[in-house]
Amino acid sequence: MRLLGIAALSVLAAAPPAGATVNVMASTEDLAALTREVGGDRAKVESIARGYQDPHFVEAKPSFILKMAKADLLVVVGRELEIGWLPPLIQQSRNAKIQVGADGYLDASLTAKILEIPTGQITRAMGDVHPLGNPHYWLDPDNGRRVAKAIMDKLARTAPADAAYFASRYADFDKRLGEAEKRWDALMAPYKGLKIVTYHRSWPNFADRFGLDVIGYVEPQPGIPPSPRHTIELIAEIKRQNVKILLVEPYFDLKTPQSIGRETGARVLVMPPSVGGVKEITDYITLFDHDLNLLVTAIKETGAK
Amino acid sequence: MCRWRRDVTAFALAGIGLTVLLPRIGGAAQGPPVGTAAAPAGEEIADLKRELEELRQEYGSRMAAIESRIMALEGAEAAAPQPAAEPSPPSATAPPPAAKFFNPDMAAIGNFVGAAGPSPGGGEPSLNMQEAELSFQAVVDPYARADFFVTLSPDEVALEEGFITFPTLPGGFLTKVGRMRDAFGKVNGQHPHTLPFADRPLVSKNLTGGEEGLADAGISVARLIPNPWLFLEATGQVYQGNSEVFKAPTRSDLAYVGHLRAYQDLGESTNIDLGGSIAYGHNGVTDDTTTRLLGVDATLRWKPLRRSIYTHFLARGEVTWSRWGEPGGALNAVGGYGYLEYQFARRWTAGLRYDNSERAEAPGLRDKGGSFVLTFMPSEFSLVRAQYRRTSFADDDSPTNELLFQFLFAIGAHGAHPF
């Protein structure tokens, strides 16, 4: 009898009735924003990392455990971005639905286009290298579309009664994103091949998509703070290639970038790689609107080529 | 005293009862029906063989396809050194070599501690590879994961911890079975390489078993206590009674640990973490003598999210009361430490610790001390630490001044950081 009761309960839990909201926990605000696009008012979405926080170093605070305990769906960036903090949270959530490999666990990277997948031997001498490829893939709008589609599929499986609703929300997002992409492509068209320097390797997908050429990084190796020798080499390279733009994620110290800027005349741009990085970036599309406008303004002002 | 002993026992036994019962229920609900498994066996084996053959063929052809793609790519790379903008198809996930799929995550952590200055009680050796810790961690099956921590020191090999965790039992009981460090306070649960200092506080040495600490074989059950205000987690543990403090004379004398943790965010940068612990068991002096430990701990953390890799502040205090049973009566001792830590640059952290503790079996003797700790972290995977320690031992006239230094280095899979 008791077994039957538990079986019945688990069936009920797996398929909430129509109109009920799906509780979604996303590891970053970007994934939360994409989930909101698709989930609309049928999904209650929260995120762990803030957009102005380094997503590699998030603290596994117990308050997140409480939120994850109630989640029907967990959406993660994957590619080991969250390896330092998410596994204990998942375990302590005691929530069978969102364990790795369970139905309510979505690794958003699985359908995305991933760059910088290392080939051959990798060691930590290369810094904090991600063996499964660069995890900052959400900075290509086409990956945003792919992730949104994966989220739509998951939401539809979690709440089958609302599948049509999620599909129409996705179609609408896809359309708006397509229009925005035309706008962004037109905006960036004159600057194909523009050389830039970035602090961390956060922008390969962004650069790939919008035709930028990243010629160097402020970090000598991923995750390793700037060293004087590397900085001197970088300054020489920036001068040699006449680079005018230096992108810095909002969670890094500006001291070294600014001294590079003073030495070379390059403009230091604090550019958020995530939704919520600054107040104005409230959703996935405004993330690109904000960043590309910032970039184009700086290009025009510095005469970068 | 008797009453709380009953309570702890009841809580622990209830937890164990649930651990024994619940997996059965879960298994019965999720496992395949037994009836079909007993169906005509010959037919099924033939089916399985067919499936295996199909899989093998499919696998072979896929491998061939992957190989040819790799060769094509290598050829293309050789032909055109320009990084051909290779749009990896959406499904490409760079699988690791097949043989490594089920290997556990492995890491080795070296802990080298050196010491200088006169020390009356011997203290740490001048140069010592204190331990190497090997960890093996992996998911066991859809219901559990396992963690092993083996410590190798120059004289011995020891199982520091080795346990299975069932994270998703019905009822929210996070259950661990195996050898574990007891959930008593903060510092007792920490492995040496996660401590913010090169040694353990005096109170650990005097009251809770020193370097080894409270660690034992047993069963642990932890549950969140739902409430609208804060994070509250209760843990009940039952142990064999075989640690530095507890020694059970017979099979029926177990050791019990209870822990309550409360946590609350005070904004996004600041949080407070409070704990209360109790441990009880036979101490092995005679068959009837027992020891009871009570502990409280409090931690305040501050870490601004926008500068989280550059700065943080932590204040922590722990107090432990020990009631050590002797044939002639119980000895009461108390001790504690207070610790302040400030990260003042991306790679630099400074800490200050105050120690004060009586000795469990000689409560009249009170040792006091203080430490200044400076830690440099070249990366997440290594650190160098210097610690100036001044101790006034109760049975010594003049204070002891020592300098400790430590090298910690980790290789292997990147484990999650404990919070």
- Domain ranges, ordered by start, for chain A: 2-182, 189-302
Q: Which residue of A has its CA nearest to B143?
A: A96
Q: List chain A residues with CB under 8 Å of B418.
A: 60, 88
Q: Which of B168, B263, B411 lies closest to A96 in CB terms?
A: B168
Q: Assess if residue B44 is contained within a domain.
A: no
Q: Which of A87, A111, A128 lies closest to B416 in CB terms?
A: A87
Please state, in angstroms and rounded to a whole number, the distance separating the CA atoms of residues A269 and A250. 9
According to DSSP, the residues that pair with B163 across neighbouring strands are B147, B178
List the CATH number of the domain containing B215: 2.40.160.10
In a structure prediction context, what are the per-residue pLDDT tens digits for chain A, which is 305 residues long?
Answer: 444 444 444 444 444 445 579 999 999 999 999 999 999 999 999 999 999 999 999 999 999 999 999 999 999 999 999 999 999 999 999 999 999 999 999 999 999 999 999 988 888 888 888 889 999 999 999 999 999 999 999 999 999 999 999 999 999 999 999 999 999 999 999 999 999 999 999 999 999 999 999 999 999 999 999 999 999 999 999 999 999 999 999 999 999 999 999 999 999 999 999 999 999 999 999 999 999 999 999 999 998 77
Which of A47, A59, A192, A199 is the best mutation test for B, with the most CBs of B within 10 A?
A59
Per-residue tokens: A176: 């708006």
Which of A6, A91, A94, A111 is the best mutation test for B, with the most CBs of B within 10 A?
A94
Instruction: Kindly report the nearest CA distance between residue A60 and chain B, in angstroms.
Output: 6
Q: Which residue of A has its CA nearest to B309?
A: A57
Instruction: Kindly report the nearest CA distance between residue A48 and chain B, in angstroms.
Output: 11
The pTM for the full model equals 0.82
Q: Assess if residue B244 is contained within a domain.
A: yes
R_g over Cα of chain A: 21
CA dist B251 → B12, B220, B280 (Å)? 16, 18, 15
Residue B356 has pLDDT above 70, yes or no: yes
Tell if the CB–CB gap between A3 and B25 is shorter than 8 Å: yes
Place of tokens 């699985």: A110
Task: Tell me what ipTM this predicted complex has.
Answer: 0.89
Q: List chain A residues with CB under 8 Å of B419.
A: 59-62, 88
Domain count, chain B: 1
Which of B24, B166, B414 is the best mutation test for A, with the most CBs of A within 10 A?
B414
3-class SS string, A153-218: HHHHHHCHHHHHHHHHHHHHHHHHHHHHHHHHHHHHHHHCCEEEEECCCCCHHHHHHHCEEEEEEC
Tell if the CB–CB gap between B174 and A91 is shorter than 8 Å: yes
Q: Is B117 left (phi over 0), alpha (psi -120 to 50) or beta?
A: left
Q: Which of B139, B167, B271 lies closest to A94 in CB terms?
A: B167
Tell if the CB–CB gap between A62 and B233 is shorter than 8 Å: yes
Give the per-residue pLDDT at B118: 86
Q: The domain containing residue B246 runs over which residues?
A: 2-23+102-116+124-412
Q: Assess if residue B67 is contained within a domain.
A: no
Q: Assess if residue B87 is contained within a domain.
A: no
Q: Assess if residue B315 is contained within a domain.
A: yes
Q: Which of A54, A83, A253 lies closest to B416 in CB terms?
A: A83
Q: Which residue of A has its CA nearest to B146?
A: A91
CATH 3.40.50.1980 given to domain A2-182: yes
Architecture label for domain A189-302: 3-Layer(aba) Sandwich (3.40)
Q: List chain B residues with CB under 8 Å of A87.
A: 416
Q: List chain B residues with CB under 8 Å of A6.
A: 25, 29, 170
Please state, in angstroms and rounded to a whole number, the distance separating the CA atoms of residues A267 and B204. 54
Asked if residue A246 lies in contact with residue A257, where contact means CB atoms within 8 angstroms, the answer is yes
Q: Which of A211, A185, A199, A80 is nearest to A134 (CA)?
A: A80
Q: Assess if residue B65 is contained within a domain.
A: no
Tell if the CB–CB gap between A224 and B379 is shorter than 8 Å: yes
pLDDT tens profile B377-416: 999 899 999 999 999 999 888 899 999 999 999 998 866 6
Q: Assess if residue B57 is contained within a domain.
A: no
Tell if the CB–CB gap between A128 and B310 is shorter than 8 Å: no
Please state, in angstroms and rounded to a whole number, the distance separating the CA atoms of residues A220 and A217. 7
Q: List chain B residues with CB under 8 Å of A94.
A: 167-169, 172-174, 224
